[in-house]
Amino acid sequence: MLRYVTTNAGKVREAEEYLDDGSVTQLDFDYTEIQAPTLEPIAARGAREAYRHAGAPVLVDDAGLFVDRLDGFPGPYSAYVEETVGVERVGQLARRGDDPARAAFRCVLAYCDGDPFDASPDPIDRGDRAAAAAVGTDEGDDATDLPVKLFEGVVRGRIVEPRGSGGFGYDPIFEHEGTTFAEMGSTGKNAVSHRGRALAKFTEWYAGR
Ligand code: ITT
Ligand code: NA
């Protein structure tokens, strides 16, 4: 049984809906989130800590909203900014000006089961940037530490006035091809979302490992 490590019920709902086979269970564990400009090292450290805590295979999900004109803010600070500034005011800040406020949602899934992975063929040769990051390019990561596999999903869209009552977090202000994520059900959101895309990469690798 794979532990999906998160304190966020919305993430678990989407992961369970995507995997749909009872193979995951939530591990409500609040791992230490290091300060970093990207999601990968946060997720990788979190996965090692969660694996040591659980003693069983874990999948950590670190996500964020990156607004182009705010140079990627709130990015890795999305949870803190949601709690403090709030979704509506982030939307107002992002929409200031005439251009459409372009943004991306990113999700990084970090898998750790304590086993060393086969390091060949080289992930860079396979064009797998996330896997390349997993094999020791994360700043400060000790190459002798527990190996972590990373899977990234990205979706682009624009920031709009809040619409819809589904989803969670920034979903009401994130529009993708005319529909906000809060106007989609979990299935529709998973088909296009950052989390759905990261889960697709993860499940493909997990099935063939
Ligand atoms: P865990 O760390 O326990 O998993 P969290 O909610 O703190 O839960 P993050 O650290 O990844 O999760 O913070 C991500 C922030 O971005 C947080 O404010 C979420 O509500 C928001 N977020 C993440 N995925 C989202 C999604 O699919 N739709 C809308 N908002 C999302
Ligand atoms: Na968090």
Between 176 and 98, the higher pLDDT residue = 176
87-100 mean pLDDT? 90
Residue from 21, 28, 62, 141 carrying the catalytic annotation = 62
pLDDT bucket at 135, cuts 50 / 70 / 90: very low
Specify the pLDDT at position 97. Answer: 76
- Ligand closest to Cα of 7 equals 1
CATH code of the domain in which 122 resides: 3.90.950.10
Structurally, the chain folds into a number of domains equal to 1
Ligand 1 centroid to residue 59 C-alpha, Å: 15
Distance, in Å, from the CA atom of 109 to the CA atom of 47, rounded to the nearest integer, reads 9
Between 131 and 147, the higher pLDDT residue = 147
Between 28 and 138, the higher pLDDT residue = 28
- Ligand closest to Cα of 18 equals 1
Specify the pLDDT at position 1. Answer: 86
The yes-or-no answer on residue 62 being catalytic is yes
Q: Is the pLDDT of residue 127 over 80?
A: no
Contacts (Cβ under 8 Å, ≥6 apart) of 113: 51, 56, 57, 58
Q: Is the pLDDT of residue 76 over 90?
A: yes
Q: Is the pLDDT of residue 92 over 80?
A: yes
pLDDT bucket at 134, cuts 50 / 70 / 90: low
Contacts (Cβ under 8 Å, ≥6 apart) of 114: 51, 57, 146
For residue 154, give its domain range. 2-208
**Nearest of 208, 204, 152, 155 to residue 184 by alpha carbon:** 155
Token pair, residue 60, equals 């950590």
Give the closest residue (by CA) to ligand 1 atom 23: 63
Backbone angles phi, psi at 86, to 5 degrees: 95, 155
Token pair 């596999």 in the structure block, residue: 149
Over the chain, what is the mean pLDDT? Answer: 90
* Angstrom distances, CA of residue 83 to CA of 22, 47, 89, 90, 170: 31, 23, 11, 11, 11
pLDDT bucket at 143, cuts 50 / 70 / 90: low
Specify the pLDDT at position 131. Answer: 55
Specify the pLDDT at position 117. Answer: 67
| 132-157 core/surface letters (b: 16 or more CB in 10 A; e: else) | bbbbeebeebeeeebbbbbbbbebeb
| 46-80 core/surface letters (b: 16 or more CB in 10 A; e: else) | bbbbbbeeeeebbbbbbbbbbbbbbebbbbbbbbe
Specify the pLDDT at position 132. Answer: 52
Specify the pLDDT at position 15. Answer: 96
Is the beta carbon of 19 within 6 A of some atom in ligand 1?
no
- 137: part of which helix (H) or strand (E)? none
202-208 mean pLDDT? 94
24 CA to centre of own chain: 16
DSSP 116: P
pLDDT bucket at 21, cuts 50 / 70 / 90: confident
Q: Is the pLDDT of residue 140 over 50?
A: no
Residues of the chain with pLDDT > 90: what percent?
Answer: 78
